Amino acid sequence: MSGTGILIACLALTIAGSAPPLPALQPLQKNAVVLAFGDSLTYGTGAPPAQSYPSILEKIIARKVINAGIPGEDTRHALARLPRLLERYHPSLLILCHGANDLLQNFSELQAAENIRGMIRMAVGRGIQVVLIGVPYPGHLVSQPSFYASIAKELAIPFTRDALAKILVEPPLRSDSIHPNARGYRLLAEAIADFLQKCGAISKQTPDQRQGEPLTPT
């Protein structure tokens, strides 16, 4: 692991040690649908479609996972797109990973935060559980906007700060400066599955469910 990677791991352990308990999720039924909603990071840019994180996550958790990622989308357009997907798929869980394109284009963080807040409220208002994934600043992957943690605390939803950041900070796990490669997406899917387990949404996964030996950064 690189020096930067070690620093991130240490920071993550420090944060985990002082963080309050995660908000609990209701267990997902076997026929539950999970909607993975986001931009190119959800779509899987940088890897074949079958190696996107939603595709891998579906195999790990043994629930249907819809890949609803659109490359280049910002949070304003995402907020407008989400309602029809919720109506179409009736998911039990929304995994929200958005904001990267707002940050890339230097859009207002205040507006991005309000759009993300609106998406979460839209889902929760329909009885849909939500998990929020933090997105780091492009070009400065050891930090991310504070609004992710603030929104999660405000709306009492599970939030993972490091699932994506600890992958993007490692060059061997990236296809370019802002996207994971196939190995990186697998690690992201495994991290999200572990997070869902910690929140109570799924039971502990076995090595067989993980489709082979788990991959970890080196």
**Phi first, then psi: what are they for 192, rounded to 5°?**
-70, -40
Angstrom distance (rounded) from CA 94 to CA 91: 7
pLDDT band at 12 (very low <50, low <70, confident <90, very high): very low
Helix (H) or strand (E) holding 203: none
Angstrom distance (rounded) from CA 82 to CA 91: 12
Bridge partners (DSSP) of residue 94 are 35, 130
Closest CA to 81 of 37, 132, 120, 111: 37
pTM of the prediction? Answer: 0.85
**pLDDT of 147-173, one tens digit each?**
999 999 999 999 999 999 999 999 999
Residue tagged 């039924």 (tokens): 29
Q: Please, what is the average pLDDT of the chain? A: 88
Domain 3-199 has CATH 2.20.28.10: no
